[in-house]
Amino acid sequence: MKKAYAVLINELLQQYHYKKENLNSAIATAEAVRQLSLNDYAFRLSIGMEGLASVARAAGDDVSADALESLVSLCNCGEIPSPVSLEHFSA
């Protein structure tokens, strides 16, 4: 995956995990509300990543698009990864 996509994905993942951490630390939040909010955050994350995958596919970058689509599938199964180091991605 190209570094530009990795940077954007990392930003989306950081936002998700930040929101999740804040929501989990809010002791006055009912569990049903917490779960609904986490599902909403995960949905927004998925939409953002699907948009990036579409852009990559339209740009002819099938390798990045495939990696992004794989990540979307992973997130849709409830397995949202942590942000990663960007050092090993190509420019």
Please indicate, yes or no, if residue 12 is contained in any of the structural domains: yes
pTM: 0.81
The answer to the question of residue 86 being in a domain is no
Q: Does residue 34 fall inside a structural domain?
A: yes
Place of tokens 């794989």: 70
Q: Is residue 22 part of a domain?
A: yes
Please report whether residue 19 resides in a domain: yes
Cα-Cα-Cα-Cα dihedral sign, residues 43, 49, 52, 54: negative
Q: Which residue has the higher pLDDT, 43 or 29?
A: 43
Residues 29-40: what's their mean pLDDT? 87
Structure confidence at residue 79 as a pLDDT band (50, 70, 90): confident
Tokens 């397995």 identify what position? 79
pLDDT of residue 89: 59
Domain that holds residue 24: 3-76
Considering the domain boundaries, does residue 36 fall inside one? yes
> In the 8-state DSSP scheme, what is residue 30?
-
